Structures are given as structure tokens and as C-alpha cells.
């Protein structure tokens, strides 16, 4: 007898191990479910295994027929599914496995039709409806199960994750709010900014999606969703680039002094009123003329809706051409005597139409005059006005030898004069007095001649 009992115990243990192995393999290969620890029931000819979607919630045992038994015809186990935040309850699913077949929600007719899976342990006659969070696993009358051919019950608590989407003012996101997603499925969201707006930030579970910033629309895809997520988007005014350029109204290139006045580009938000800045100066003097700023086009923007370039126009005005008449030098050829003093600037003047009298600006740039000896010489003058116009002039200077003064002739009746001359010991002067003495001498000779003629006529008459 003892030997028979030991043999039966060994067989029973082996059967239990064999029955557990397939269920463990199923649970380990499932991507969605995990086995709920402490919920299984194992007796000699039957087992219950409880599974739940990973991370979706918990399962509690809320009722049972006996702590250690699961008898045919009367045994039951009642379970309650409890979902976590941001998960959606999707109902229980079940299997009743016997000899490789799924018997589904098998029934019997023990004092009426009863179900293997009902909504409550106190009501076996109402089958589980697929949505209730409570399910009762009921052991009906035998279907032929034995220690060697167990019947196995598997129940699955199904939860689906959700994605919560939100959008700030200035745009929209598809499926705003909390939306259910099939576990392991994909879900896309499209963000669209309102006119004049752009995406400021897009966050998924608190992490920034940098690719979305600054765009007007963006699509984000959640793939293989196995947990709840949150997606949030905010918007801001669109930012445009405001730039500036200078152009020349003529074919001349703008000088560096003008280009240095060009304002730098800047960023402005949608809808802003934009007026180009006032330049630090609106005219620039160049070597050959003046550049004048004529203004910006457009003069301003009341409401910025796109990138904008303001164009500033510069006009070039060349300096007026002034005819500068060279000055004149007033100087004549001169004659001097050997030994005389010569001043090259004496009686020399200069005048300019614009500057007036420039006599004090006359320069003698060449002077060959040598009054120590007779000859022909030259003097060259130059004068320059304030605008740089100049004039030169050369005159001829003649240096002559001094001529000897002839002696005055002696005439009758002129003793007194001769005596006076002899007394004074003075001689006739040369130079400036030379012409007067010559005339006087000629007059005396004429008088002497006239007197001689008269004397001869008187002697003839006597």
C-alpha cells in the first residue's frame, strides 16, 4: 500500500511540473502580458493562471470557494482588475484548455445552464460580458479531466495605454486630449501653427523634440506604443529677418565711407511695425563729389508678415567745375647803366581775377642781371594763386656803358662864366645831366658863329 502511494505521489508531481512548463513558456514569450504573481491556483486535475498587460494595472483575488481546493462542479476564483493612471480598461479575455483544445466559455446543465467564465462568482448563469473588471472562473462538472489530463484556465486582464496631447495658443495638434492607443500600435500627431505663428517647443514625455522648433507644421510618430505618453506643443510669433542694403543711383560704386553706414540685419516678430533706422549721417564727401542719402524703400512696414529687405538709395553729385584764371604779371623790359643799382621787383605787380592783388606773392625765379658790365640780361618772375594756378614772365634788362661828357666851347663874352667855372673847379656832370649840357654847348656854338659872321660884315663895310 505504501509503495502504491509513493508511486501515485511521484506521478502527481511529474504531472504538475509538465503542466506548469507550457504555461511558463507562454508567459515568457508574450510581448504584451506578464504573469500576475500569487494569483495561480493549482490542484491535481486543474490549474488557473492569471496574466495582465505589462504596466497597465494590477489584479486582485476578491473571492474563492476554498483556499486549497478547486472542486469540480463547485469551485471558483473571482478576480478584480485595477487599471493604472493613463491606461484604459479593455476587458478580460480567457482560455479553457483541455487536451490541446480551447473549450472557450464552456457550459454545463447542473440545475440549469452555467458558464465557466461569469461576471460574478454568485451568478454562474450570466456569462462574462467582455467589459466588466470582475470575472469569475467557475469549475463546472467534469469534461473528462484527470490528473493525467488536466484542465487549465488562463485569464488575461487587458489594458491599453493612452497618449495625452495638448497645444498652447497659436496653433493646434490632432487628437487633442487623452486618446487610447492599441497596445503595441503606432500613433501619429500633426502640429499646425496658426498664420504668423511657429512652433516654439514640442515636448514628448518632457523631452524636447528639437527638430520641430521654428517650423509652421510638424508630424510626430509614436511607434510600438506600450506605455502612456504625453505630447505638448507651444507656439510663438513667427520671426522674420529684416535686412538692409544700399544702392547707387548712378553707375558709380558706393565708397567705403557710405557702406560703413549700412545697418546690420535683425530679427522681428510677425505683426510688428518696422521702420528703418535713421543713419548717423545722410551725406558723405568724397574726393570728386558728395554722396547724398535719398531715403529707404519701402519707408516702413505697418505689419511684418515675411522676411523684409529695405533698400537705401544714394545719389552722387560731382563738385562744380570752376575755371580758375591764372594771375597776370605786369613787368616791362628795362635799361640801366653800368654801375647803377638794379631792383628786379621795382615797378613789377601781379593781379588775379579771383584773388585780387598778388604783388606780394611774386617770386623771382631767375635773375641774370650784372650791372658791373654792359650786356643784355633777363629776369623771370612767377606768381601762384590760392587754387594753384600760376603764371611766369621774363623781361629783358639792358645794361649800357656810361658815355663821356664833351667839354663846353669858349665864346667871347663868356669869360665870367668860364671864370666862374674855373673858380669853382667843377666839371660838367654826366648821367642824368648829360642832355642839358649838350644842349647848352650847342647853343653857345650857335651864338659864337653868329657873332663871327656879324664881325666880318662890319669890316667889309668899312
- Answer with the residue of higher pLDDT: 30 or 378: 378
Q: Give the DSSP letter of residue 113.
A: -
Q: Does the pLDDT value for residue 19 go beyond 80?
A: no
C-alpha–C-alpha distance, residues 229 and 164, integer Å: 6
- Assess whether 18 and 119 both reside in one domain: yes
In a domain, 410, yes or no: no
- In three-state form (DSSP H/G/I as H, E/B as E, the rest C), the secondary structure along 16-45 is HHHHHHHHHHHHHHCCCEEECCCCCEECCC
Q: Which residues contact 241 (CB under 8 A, 6 or more apart)?
A: 265, 266, 267, 307, 308
pLDDT of residue 354: 85
- Assess whether 42 and 149 both reside in one domain: yes
Question: What phi and psi values does residue 98 have, to the nearest 5 degrees?
Answer: -150, 125
pLDDT of residue 280: 94
pLDDT band at 440 (very low <50, low <70, confident <90, very high): very low
- Assess whether 253 and 355 both reside in one domain: no
pLDDT of residue 455: 40
DSSP state string for 177-203:
EEEE--TTEEEEEEEEEPTTEEEEEEE
- Assess whether 83 and 155 both reside in one domain: yes
pLDDT of residue 407: 60
Bridge-based pairing of strands 239-248 and 171-173 is unpaired
Q: Give the DSSP letter of residue 51.
A: E
- Assess whether 40 and 104 both reside in one domain: yes
pLDDT band at 339 (very low <50, low <70, confident <90, very high): confident
* Per-residue pLDDT tens digits for 424-434: 444 344 444 44
Whole-number percent of the chain with pLDDT over 70: 80
SS3 call for 419: helix
Q: Does the pLDDT value for residue 459 go beyond 90?
A: no
Evaluate whether 275 touches 303 at the Cβ level (below 8 Å): no
> What is the CATH number for 359?
2.60.40.10
Q: Return the sign of the alpha-carbon dihedral for residues 183, 151, 19, 62.
A: positive
Angle at 199 between CA 194 and CA 201, to 5 degrees: 145
- Assess whether 11 and 103 both reside in one domain: yes
pLDDT band at 2 (very low <50, low <70, confident <90, very high): very low
pLDDT of residue 294: 94
C-alpha–C-alpha distance, residues 189 and 181, integer Å: 12
Mean pLDDT calculated for residue range 193-215: 96
Evaluate whether 17 touches 39 at the Cβ level (below 8 Å): no
Boundary (domain end) residue, out of 350, 369, 400: 400
C-alpha–C-alpha distance, residues 9 and 205, integer Å: 55
Mean pLDDT calculated for residue range 27-37: 77
* Per-residue pLDDT tens digits for 289-309: 999 999 999 999 999 999 999
- Assess whether 226 and 173 both reside in one domain: yes
pTM above 0.85, yes or no: no
β partners of residue 12 = none
pLDDT of residue 406: 63
Nearest to 116 by CA among 98, 89, 133: 98
In a domain, 358, yes or no: yes
Q: Does the pLDDT value for residue 180 go beyond 70?
A: yes
Nearest to 228 by CA among 159, 160, 162, 158: 162
- Assess whether 254 and 383 both reside in one domain: no
In a domain, 232, yes or no: yes
Q: Does the pLDDT value for residue 442 go beyond 70?
A: no
- Assess whether 154 and 189 both reside in one domain: no
* Per-residue pLDDT tens digits for 117-152: 999 999 999 999 999 999 999 999 999 999 999 999
* Per-residue pLDDT tens digits for 344-356: 998 999 999 888 9
Whole-number percent of the chain with pLDDT over 90: 69
- Assess whether 62 and 178 both reside in one domain: no
In a domain, 434, yes or no: no
- Answer with the residue of higher pLDDT: 430 or 177: 177
pLDDT of residue 267: 94
- Assess whether 9 and 128 both reside in one domain: yes
Evaluate whether 381 touches 348 at the Cβ level (below 8 Å): yes
- Answer with the residue of higher pLDDT: 64 or 29: 64
pLDDT of residue 206: 96
Boundary (domain end) residue, out of 237, 263, 298: 237
Q: How many domains does the chain have?
A: 4
pLDDT of residue 322: 66
The overall average pLDDT reported for the chain is 84
Nearest to 354 by CA among 385, 391, 375, 400: 385
Nearest to 157 by CA among 103, 230, 84, 100: 84
Mean pLDDT calculated for residue range 68-90: 95
Q: Which domain holds residue 358?
A: 328-400
Q: Does the pLDDT value for residue 161 go beyond 60?
A: yes
In a domain, 56, yes or no: yes
Mean pLDDT calculated for residue range 89-102: 97
- In three-state form (DSSP H/G/I as H, E/B as E, the rest C), the secondary structure along 260-315 is CCCCCCEEEECCCCECCCCCCCCEEECCCEEEEEEEEECCCECCCCCCEEEEEEEE
In a domain, 361, yes or no: yes
Angle at 355 between CA 350 and CA 361, to 5 degrees: 45
* Per-residue pLDDT tens digits for 218-229: 999 999 999 999
pLDDT of residue 229: 98
C-alpha–C-alpha distance, residues 125 and 112, integer Å: 8
In a domain, 436, yes or no: no
Boundary (domain end) residue, out of 400, 433, 452: 400
C-alpha–C-alpha distance, residues 355 and 385, integer Å: 7
pLDDT of residue 110: 87
Is residue 202 exposed (0-12), middle (13-18) or buried (19+ Cβ within 10 Å)?
buried
Mean pLDDT calculated for residue range 270-276: 94
- Assess whether 31 and 64 both reside in one domain: yes
In a domain, 441, yes or no: no
Evaluate whether 151 touches 143 at the Cβ level (below 8 Å): yes
Amino acid at each position: 500500500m505504501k509503495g502504491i502511494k509513493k508511486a501515485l505521489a511521484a506521478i502527481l508531481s511529474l504531472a504538475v511540473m509538465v503542466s506548469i512548463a507550457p504555461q511558463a513558456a507562454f508567459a515568457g514569450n508574450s510581448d504584451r502580458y506578464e504573469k500576475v504573481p500569487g494569483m495561480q491556483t493549482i490542484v491535481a486535475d486543474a490549474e488557473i493562471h492569471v496574466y495582465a498587460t505589462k504596466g497597465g494595472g494590477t489584479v486582485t483575488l476578491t473571492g474563492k470557494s476554498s483556499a486549497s481546493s478547486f472542486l469540480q462542479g463547485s469551485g471558483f476564483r473571482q478576480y478584480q482588475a485595477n487599471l493604472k493612471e493613463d491606461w484604459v480598461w479593455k476587458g478580460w479575455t480567457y482560455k479553457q484548455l483541455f487536451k490541446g483544445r480551447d473549450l472557450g466559455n464552456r457550459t454545463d446543465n447542473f440545475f440549469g445552464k452555467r458558464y465557466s467564465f461569469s461576471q460574478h462568482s454568485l451568478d454562474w448563469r450570466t456569462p462574462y460580458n467582455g467589459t466588466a473588471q470582475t470575472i469569475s472562473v467557475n469549475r463546472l462538472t467534469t469534461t473528462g479531466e484527470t490528473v493525467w489530463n488536466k484542465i487549465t484556465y488562463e485569464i488575461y486582464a487587458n489594458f491599453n495605454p493612452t497618449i495625452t496631447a495638448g497645444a498652447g495658443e497659436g496653433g493646434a495638434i490632432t487628437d487633442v486630449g487623452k486618446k487610447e492607443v492599441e497596445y503595441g500600435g503606432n500613433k501619429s500627431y500633426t502640429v499646425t501653427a496658426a498664420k504668423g505663428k511657429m512652433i516654439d517647443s514640442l515636448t514628448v514625455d518632457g523631452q524636447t523634440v528639437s527638430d520641430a522648433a521654428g517650423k509652421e507644421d510638424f508630424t510626430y510618430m509614436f511607434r510600438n506604443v506600450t506605455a502612456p505618453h504625453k505630447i505638448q506643443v507651444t507656439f510663438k510669433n513667427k520671426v522674420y529677418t529684416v535686412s538692409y542694403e544700399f544702392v547707387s543711383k548712378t553707375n558709380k560704386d558706393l565708397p567705403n565711407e557710405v557702406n560703413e553706414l549700412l545697418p546690420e540685419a535683425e530679427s522681428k516678430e510677425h505683426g510688428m511695425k518696422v521702420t528703418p533706422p535713421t543713419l548717423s549721417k545722410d551725406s558723405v564727401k568724397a574726393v570728386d563729389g558728395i554722396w547724398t542719402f535719398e531715403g529707404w524703400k519701402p519707408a516702413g512696414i505697418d505689419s511684418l508678415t515675411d522676411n523684409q529687405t529695405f533698400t537705401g538709395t544714394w545719389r552722387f553729385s560731382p563738385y562744380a567745375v570752376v575755371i580758375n584764371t591764372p594771375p597776370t604779371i605786369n613787368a616791362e623790359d628795362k635799361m640801366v647803366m653800368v654801375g647803377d643799382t638794379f631792383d628786379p621787383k621795382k615797378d613789377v605787380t601781379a593781379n588775379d581775377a579771383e584773388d585780387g592783388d598778388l604783388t606780394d606773392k611774386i617770386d623771382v625765379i631767375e635773375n641774370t642781371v650784372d650791372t658791373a658790365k654792359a650786356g643784355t640780361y633777363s629776369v623771370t618772375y612767377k606768381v601762384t594763386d590760392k587754387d594753384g594756378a600760376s603764371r611766369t614772365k621774363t623781361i629783358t634788362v639792358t645794361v649800357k656803358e656810361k658815355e663821356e661828357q664833351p667839354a663846353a666851347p669858349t665864346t667871347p663874352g663868356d669869360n665870367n662864366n668860364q671864370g666862374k667855372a674855373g673858380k669853382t673847379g667843377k666839371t660838367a656832370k654826366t648821367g642824368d645831366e648829360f642832355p642839358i649840357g649838350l644842349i647848352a654847348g650847342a647853343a653857345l656854338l650857335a651864338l659864337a658863329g653868329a657873332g663871327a659872321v656879324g664881325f666880318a660884315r662890319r669890316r667889309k663895310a668899312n
